Amino acid sequence: MFEPPSRPYVASFTGSDYVTAPGTPKAEYCAWCLNQNTGVCGITQDGSTNYDDWLDSNGQPMPWTSQGVYQQGQIIDIEQTITAHHNGHIEMWACPLGRLCTMNDFKNNKLEFVDDVTTNMPKDENYPYRGMMSGADTFKMRFQLPNDLVGEQVLLQWWYFTANSCSPPGYSNYFARTDVPFKKWSPGIATCTPDKYPDAFFSGDTSVSERFLNCAEVTILPSDRSPLSEPVTAPPVVTPTNPPTGPPTIQPIICTPIPQEALPSGSYETNDVACGLCATTPSYVYWPCDTNPPLCRCGSEDDDSTPTDSVAANPTNAPSKASKSSEAPSSTSSEPSLGFVTPPATIISPTSATDSPTTSPPVNSSPTTEGNNNGEGGCCSHDYKSCADWCNGNDRSQEQCETDPNCTGFLNDMKWLSEGDQSDYSCAARWEECTGDVDSCCNGLICHTFNQYYKQCLAIVPSPTTITTPTNDILSGPDCVPIAQDDLPPGTYATSEAFCDLCETGTHLWWPCDVVDPPICRCNDDISVRRRRLGSSN
């Protein structure tokens, strides 16, 4: 599955065997070879990679990167390539618990097949979750998300059920129909029995029917924009903390979600299960523990005071300098480690024009010729190319698209397409790859470099301006700041303070920190000090 990009597919074009860095997976050379499984996301045929683990090249968990943002109950496109046909069908299952998903969670959230866009294979009403195979190598199907499924960390599970050793139940009736354009089926083989489909299966085991699977990371928003919460209690976990003086002590830490009413517009409440990850270990530096403003409130079990909304136990919740306040710190924890993580699908730009008037990379401008708008005029877009399924009611307007909180929040940063749907253009939409052509992104997007092997079209979204966050002695002072556009040579473009903050960690090895000739960030402290502070010798 390459749309949305599955974990092995992401590893196939962003992974590397030559770069060892946080957030960079090992290269995958057989993204279509996951025909064994012991968990939920599959194992490569040679057993070298288990995509339940989903580790980077340092052996640490990969950060959550939503490869698509959908709406509750939405009909979504699923695109795949089959390299060796074994007949069969496609199914899509889902789970809203991220890394905590079990197989039973997926079985309770199956997506319903809608249609085959490429070859028009009809739906099997007796088995509505199946997308029947036509024999095409690369094809697009559409499935509908369950109406009751929402979450910021949703795993989509892609299944290819083969039918060359036995036929899944119902195939004989389906292919007996006269409206089936492609009879990709072997009628002479036995019908598969339930024991042919165990949750755990291995390559070469002839006692089961061969299946292939993989997972994609996505976000599904509620249709009414209600909080993304699920009242599941995570148990407190013992976590070491660093007091201001004396040796480290062990204290139980509890992290709970901040209520929706206490969050700013554009932020959505998460759940206890997700916040429980922030209490497990200080090394967990991914969503929701890396958000700014924070989504989780953390404190010790015996603390009678109410922890502040802006401070969590995880040290990576430290604010970026764009959000600094002169208020005194409200946390008694000692020096936090620096580990800013910018959401891959959103680029944070300066909060106002006076912060840094020329600090954004150049924004691409696609042709202004009218696209396929079906005569409907302008529309609100989430991918900067096609009209979205929301924020486009009968009273659609540019004002609604650009000012309605339901359309302008952090996950819903919409763009008004004055000439309507632009799907006829050849430009790359938001989140699409631009590695081979940095000028291919649609109007309003920039081609962002994640590493030397992968670039992606991303939007520039204003960062919140009303969030009050604490300061501390580590974050005081501009350690790394962008070099002004006037001080850069022609052909080099200034970046923002939010991006230069990433260079303060000493471990972020990509843009803009890897730009050295000339540099676009100026740091005024010793990088070796920051690395020792992080416990890194790299």
Residue 466: predicted pLDDT: 34
Q: Which long-range contacts (CB under 8 A, 24 or more apart) does 510-517 make?
A: 510/21, 510/449, 510/450, 510/451, 511/448, 511/449, 511/450, 512/482
Q: What is the 3-state secondary structure (H, E, C) of 417-463?
A: ECCCCCCCCCCECCCCECCCCCCCECCCEEEEEEECCEEEEEEEEEC
pLDDT tens readout for residues 97-108: 999 999 999 999
SS3 80: strand
Residue 292 has pLDDT above 50, yes or no: yes
Domains of the chain, first to last: 7-221 (2.70.50), 237-317 (no CATH), 379-462 (no CATH)
Separation between Cα atoms, residue 313 and residue 255, nearest integer Å: 8
How would you list the strands of the sheet with 296-300, edge to edge? 237-241, 249-257, 296-300
Mean predicted confidence (pLDDT) in 21-50? 90
Name the pTM for this structure. Answer: 0.48
- Per-residue confidence band for 219, with pLDDT thresholds at 50, 70 and 90: very high
Separation between Cα atoms, residue 201 and residue 39, nearest integer Å: 10
- Per-residue confidence band for 8, with pLDDT thresholds at 50, 70 and 90: very high
Lowest mean pLDDT among 26-35, 257-266, 306-315, 393-402: 306-315
Lowest mean pLDDT among 72-81, 359-368, 392-401: 359-368
- Per-residue confidence band for 265, with pLDDT thresholds at 50, 70 and 90: confident
* 34-48, 393-407, 430-444, range with greatest mean pLDDT: 34-48
Residue 228 has pLDDT above 50, yes or no: yes
pLDDT tens readout for residues 322-338: 232 333 333 333 222 22
Residues 6+ apart with CB under 8 A from 530: 338, 479, 504, 505, 506
Residue 506: predicted pLDDT: 59
Residue 468: predicted pLDDT: 34
* 96-110, 273-287, 396-410, range with greatest mean pLDDT: 96-110
Lowest mean pLDDT among 355-364, 463-472, 494-503: 463-472
SS3 8: helix
More confident residue, 345 or 67: 67
Mean predicted confidence (pLDDT) in 205-228? 85
- Per-residue confidence band for 163, with pLDDT thresholds at 50, 70 and 90: very high
Q: Are 437 and 416 in contact (CB under 8 A)?
A: no
Separation between Cα atoms, residue 94 and residue 217, nearest integer Å: 10
Residue 110 has pLDDT above 90, yes or no: yes
SS3 405: helix
pLDDT tens readout for residues 497-533: 767 777 766 555 567 777 777 888 888 654 433 333 3
Lowest mean pLDDT among 118-132, 138-152, 472-486: 472-486
Residue 452: predicted pLDDT: 59
* 68-82, 418-432, 468-482, range with greatest mean pLDDT: 68-82
Paired tokens of 498:
């939010």
More confident residue, 371 or 407: 407
Separation between Cα atoms, residue 43 and residue 89, nearest integer Å: 20
SS3 495: coil
Residue 285: predicted pLDDT: 54
User: Which residue carries 């502040």 as its tokens?
Assistant: 308
Separation between Cα atoms, residue 82 and residue 87, nearest integer Å: 10
- Per-residue confidence band for 444, with pLDDT thresholds at 50, 70 and 90: confident
Cα–Cα nearest to 380, from 427, 345, 413, 344? 413
Mean pLDDT of all residues in the chain? 73
Residue 246 has pLDDT above 50, yes or no: no
Lowest mean pLDDT among 214-218, 364-368, 381-385: 364-368
Lowest mean pLDDT among 195-204, 270-279, 342-351, 370-379: 342-351
What percent of the chain has a predicted confidence (pLDDT) above 90? 31
Residue 187 has pLDDT above 80, yes or no: yes
End-to-end CA distance of the chain: 35
- Per-residue confidence band for 113, with pLDDT thresholds at 50, 70 and 90: very high
What percent of the chain has a predicted confidence (pLDDT) above 70? 66
Cα–Cα nearest to 295, from 275, 313, 319, 322? 275
What's the Rg (C-alpha) of the chain? Answer: 24
Residue 31 has pLDDT above 70, yes or no: yes
CB burial of residue 503 (10 Å; 0-12, 13-18, 19+): buried
Paired tokens of 478:
């501009």
DSSP for 461-482, written as a single string: EEPPSS------TTT-S-SEEE
Let me know how long the chain is: 538
